[in-house]
Structure 1
């Protein structure tokens, strides 16, 4: 990251309007490893290609405006260590995907497993395309687009910082905010509004998406075939899926994110992932436990219609130390008759006050069981939960496994919230389950 910031310190060699009449002329005249300064104003450009390591720097997002002719990509970078900073970009062409791209343009063989996906997601029109242009940098740029914002194709170590991107109000009329195609990319301190996907990654190692905001698209962050990802401290609102890491991914950390008012908050499939410290509120489903050999801990799931959904066939994941508070249903499972043992979570609807010395309730909690799932919603359910009949039946099930039903059981539910300060703040903020309305127009509509 530090090496990319040095790209903003290159000496100015050409000033557009003073030393060269157009940006294209400035690119022709500027020596490598220098800066082209673009003063305040509006500049009409057409399919600009940057084939040498230079920095294009404007006077500010609201002062320097580069406007494409709406026939294709505005700027294509084909050299490593290029940079764009302090300006706005618009006038992107209408091609959202690369469906009409010829086979020769795609950098993997047509018989490859990811040929079609690379073609569709990596070759549409965009404000900026990095094509084999690694070690490059985007800083303090605003983009308005009805197709794509930034595409990085086979360009390792691209950093995108302080990007503000406005897509389409209807998700199906736009496409990708940032697309990392075979490129390790850092996206940070940025904001995405509308379109189909905020940050999309395909076949990527070491993607980082942090400290950013996504609102009003179908998917906030969407990863396909990725490894070693970090998705942290992002705020995602009004999406169809907040954060979706699909099943062929591995070794991903999803930590410290806030997802609210969305269809599904966080879905992390694949293997050996870590999902921790996220706060998921007022979604249709907060956290979807999928994949295998992953750890889900210290997440707060509150005021969702469904707190957690277990979608796995085999109970290989560890789900512990989570706060499940005031959801319509604490948890649901797939149709498979599997017992999932999730130990040490706080369930606000768990009946009982007797504690063990370690701080858990004496009575185990079965949030998918016919009795426990009704506690807090159905009158007298708490009384039934403590009845002698239910108590004897639960004891008998411990000795006769054939009497057990599938679902989730917490044998040692926490008596108090794990993240008490966060739970108190959430309870002070929300007063009902399900999606609430906000005062802006960036909403996902299915």
Structure 2
């Protein structure tokens, strides 16, 4: 069995000794390998026992059918966990980023999943597929097919085999060439990253502009029926209106529920904000008030009230418990998607909601079954107690574009479930449980919103989706500012002030940059066991504690010569940036609160402890280091605006930094 050949040329004896030390340190650790110290090299583990990096769970689910993804598992010298990479390209990419070795140590041995006797091929859509159970082969003993017609959802796939003949047979059937590990590890791969998501954020903003312009054109239709003149009720007017025309609803209160089965615009005289005349549609306190079951419907200038208070359908939710595979995901979709709402849309793509106010005990706008919607100027007043109400917008498998809207009270301001490609921007969220809450939703943009007094978090992303951009938001006085899981998430240019927690690095392979983190009880928390994200160019000022870390490897929050700005990091006799800063150290972490702590920091004992943390795996666990703390804040203008704003939101420059083509200007990307 071959030990992984490191680039540094360390001796085999040193590597084997380190294997034994790591094995001893790993015994009893959840998710870690356990090896007999008398053995020179650890054996492969079940991939399920490794800490996984690489593709997101949503891509994993896509591959879980007939498709397959080659995997790698790696034992590192300074890490007690086995790291599992989904895709060989993701492991190769990590070897060249210069950060992995700093945090994990060097790879002692790496195994690749091989497919010699698994009938490898492709699905109808060209995805790589193989059956049966695979074996594990040291990476430098395997043979690889590159350039074949097999793919993964993210692009090229490298297919490994234990024997050259099996590799050649696959290449004969599917093209490509057979190469060794040296050619694979020096090959360039187009690995999607959080930096790619950053470059796409401005494009998503422009896409939202296009959707809004198209929605405005779609809603602009000639008037065919006027309520009170041509028909006695809104329902009667909708029934009489030809498709692609407008039903005009004069000011007044219309006590009815309305079902829209044709592509029309229902235009009120106004939603009753301030002294404006109001067109009010009031239900009877049960069910939804306006139900849309047709494409390209537009609702404008309305105030809606009188909804029922059912937030979910218990009977629909019970269906998910059937033995045929009821899952939590299905439970949420069936339950949440069948409650009451001011406006409920089912199978109604192209919905336009503009200048509408909803007073509700349940959801304001409920979208289900592909009811993709464009929303502007929506105001939802929910319940005072979040347990008694529901969502401002509930989107179930329905993409939504929201701008210039407001959500007060209720459960979540916006809850999106499998709503890929959604955009939430320029909106205000106050007194919700969560402001914006994404589940199974990727490739979304959450930008330039204001969140205040959110009970749990301003922005939360759960269930590990991929490719979300969370930029330019201002979150204050909340339990947490931003908590985003998933992969390839871009969290940039946000202003996080006076929260219990500014942000957590819950997303894997993600980028956190240019955030201003001020006056929080805890500025940031490193939460992933195996760090794979980049944290750089953030300003930490006035937090009770700047950062904390859970169990796991050393986190390095810097990129080469650039790190973050930490208030207090540069006090003492040394010049700015001459000493690494450890926000998780009791001494360093107190420097911005107690300047006299610098005396302890410069003591011989403290220096010895620093050296210990850098070399011994147990001492590295659960810590953060910034080897190049910035001498000055990256965003002094935003810090000054926070100090002077009296709670007013602070604008960031993320869109101007993105440039006309959507690519962010060059900036360092540090490593978690």
Q: Provide the TM-score with structure 2 as the length reference.
A: 0.61
Flag the 1:400–1:89 CA change in 2: closer, same or farther, 3 A. Answer: closer
What's 2:263 paired with? 53
Q: How many angstroms apart in 1 are the aligned matches of 2:331 and 2:602?
A: 57
Deviations along 1:376-416, one digit per CA (max 9) or x if unpaired, are: 33462122112344235434654666654531000000110
Answering whether residue 444 of structure 2 is matched by residue 229 of structure 1, we say yes
Kept in 1, the 8 Å contact 2:300–2:356? The answer is yes
Cα drift, residue 291 of structure 1: 2.3
Alignment equivalent of 2:568, drawn from 341, 344, 349: 349
Counterpart secondary structure, 1:172? helix
Kept in 2, the 8 Å contact 1:73–1:125? The answer is yes
Q: Is the deviation greater in 222-231 or in 383-392?
A: 383-392
Cα drift, residue 247 of structure 1: 3.4
Q: Is the deviation greater in 57-66 or in 344-353?
A: 344-353
Counterpart secondary structure, 1:384? helix
What's 2:591 paired with? 375
Answering whether residue 221 of structure 2 is matched by residue 10 of structure 1, we say yes
Q: How many angstroms apart in 2 are the aligned matches of 1:429 and 1:36?
A: 44
Answering whether residue 356 of structure 2 is matched by residue 141 of structure 1, we say yes
Flag the 1:11–1:179 CA change in 2: closer, same or farther, 3 A. Answer: same
Counterpart secondary structure, 1:119? helix
Alignment of 1:97-136 (within 5 A): 97-101=312-316, 111=326, 114-136=329-351
Flag the 1:110–1:79 CA change in 2: closer, same or farther, 3 A. Answer: farther
Q: How many angstroms apart in 2 are the aligned matches of 1:373 and 1:257?
A: 26
Answering whether residue 382 of structure 2 is matched by residue 158 of structure 1, we say no
Q: How many angstroms apart in 1 are the aligned matches of 2:334 and 2:432?
A: 22
What's 2:157 paired with? none
Counterpart secondary structure, 1:7? helix
Q: Is the deviation greater in 418-427 or in 325-334?
A: 418-427
Answering whether residue 260 of structure 2 is matched by residue 41 of structure 1, we say no
What's 2:633 paired with? 417
Counterpart secondary structure, 1:176? coil
Counterpart secondary structure, 1:363? coil
Q: Is the deviation greater in 173-182 or in 156-165?
A: 156-165
Cα drift, residue 340 of structure 1: 0.4
Flag the 1:379–1:403 CA change in 2: closer, same or farther, 3 A. Answer: same
Kept in 1, the 8 Å contact 2:418–2:441? The answer is yes
Alignment of 1:261-280 (within 5 A): 261-280=477-496
Q: How many angstroms apart in 1 are the aligned matches of 2:470 and 2:398?
A: 19
Answering whether residue 279 of structure 2 is matched by residue 64 of structure 1, we say yes
Q: How many angstroms apart in 2 are the aligned matches of 1:235 and 1:68?
A: 31
Alignment of 1:30-429 (within 5 A): 30-46=241-257, 48-62=258-272, 63-101=278-316, 111=326, 114-240=329-455, 241-334=457-550, 336-343=551-558, 344-352=563-571, 361-378=577-594, 380-395=596-611, 397-398=613-614, 404-429=620-645
What's 1:440 paired with? none
- In structure 1, the gaps of 5 or more residues are 432-446
Q: What count of residue pairs does the alignment treat as equivalent?
A: 424
Flag the 1:138–1:387 CA change in 2: closer, same or farther, 3 A. Answer: same
- Choose between structure 1 and 2: higher strand proportion: 1
Cα drift, residue 114 of structure 1: 2.5
Q: How many angstroms apart in 2 are the aligned matches of 1:398 and 1:126?
A: 56
Q: How many angstroms apart in 2 are the aligned matches of 1:330 and 1:258?
A: 18
Q: How many angstroms apart in 2 are the aligned matches of 1:403 and 1:102?
A: 48
Flag the 1:103–1:171 CA change in 2: closer, same or farther, 3 A. Answer: closer
Deviations along 1:396-443, one digit per CA (max 9) or x if unpaired, are: 654666654531000000110011100122234479xxxxxxxxxxxx
What's 1:444 paired with? none
Deviations along 1:244-297, one digit per CA (max 9) or x if unpaired, are: 011321100000000000001100111111000000000000101112100000
Q: How many angstroms apart in 1 are the aligned matches of 2:352 and 2:574?
A: 55
- In structure 2, the gaps of 5 or more residues are 1-210, 273-277, 648-672
Kept in 2, the 8 Å contact 1:148–1:174? The answer is yes
Cα drift, residue 155 of structure 1: 2.6
- Choose between structure 1 and 2: higher helix proportion: 2
Counterpart secondary structure, 1:100? helix
Deviations along 1:150-203, one digit per CA (max 9) or x if unpaired, are: 011123531011001100111111111101100111011100000000000001
Q: How many angstroms apart in 1 are the aligned matches of 2:602 and 2:574?
A: 15
Coordinate RMSD, CA, aligned: 2.2
Cα drift, residue 223 of structure 1: 0.7
Kept in 1, the 8 Å contact 2:570–2:631? The answer is no
Q: How many angstroms apart in 2 are the aligned matches of 1:341 and 1:179?
A: 38
